[in-house]
């Protein structure tokens, strides 16, 4: 289930640095679905669209991200295929879409770092 990006951002920003929160996590039911190429491609597209929507929502409140790309040292995830970072006060807040391997879930997460 998808969570509203701005509401989750406010929650992680009010928590201790290093907080990570889920916006959307899509696991696979079994090995067959994890190795379904069409499903993998569809989820990659769906998570890219969801990332772009969340990034737009966050930019409307926090301004444009200071960094974007496919990998960043403050994002503590493997398999990141999209990220954006905002400077908010004394913290950096990040948004990332990731999928490490076929059996691992697709992730759309928000987090903070000092």
Q: What is the pLDDT of residues 36-70, one digit of tens each?
A: 999 999 999 999 999 999 999 999 999 999 999 98
Task: State residue 73's pLDDT score.
Answer: 87
Range of the domain at 38: 5-113
Q: What is the 3-state secondary structure (H, E, C) of the chain?
A: CCCCHHHHHHHHHCCCCCCEEEEEEECCCCHHHHCCHHHHHHHHHHHHHHHHHHHHHHHHHHCCCCEEECCCCCCCCCCEEEEEEEEECCEEEEEEEECCCCCCCEEEEEEEEC
Whether 1 has a pLDDT exceeding 60, the answer reads: no
> pTM score, two decimals?
0.93
Q: How many domains does the chain have?
A: 1
Q: What is the pLDDT of residues 32-44, one digit of tens each?
A: 999 999 999 999 9
How high does pLDDT run on average in the chain? 94
């Amino acid at each position: 289930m998808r969570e509203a990006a701005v509401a989750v951002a406010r929650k992680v920003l009010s928590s201790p640095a290093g907080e990570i929160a889920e916006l959307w996590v899509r696991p696979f039911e079994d090995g067959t679905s994890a190795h379904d190429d069409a499903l993998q491609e569809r989820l990659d597209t769906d998570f890219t669209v969801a990332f772009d929507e969340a990034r737009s929502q966050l930019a409307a409140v926090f301004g444009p991200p200071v960094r974007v790309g496919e990998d960043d040292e403050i994002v503590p995830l493997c398999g990141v295929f999209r990220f954006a970072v905002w400077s908010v006060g004394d913290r950096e807040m990040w948004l990332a879409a990731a999928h490490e391997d076929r059996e691992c879930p697709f992730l759309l997460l928000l987090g903070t770092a000092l």
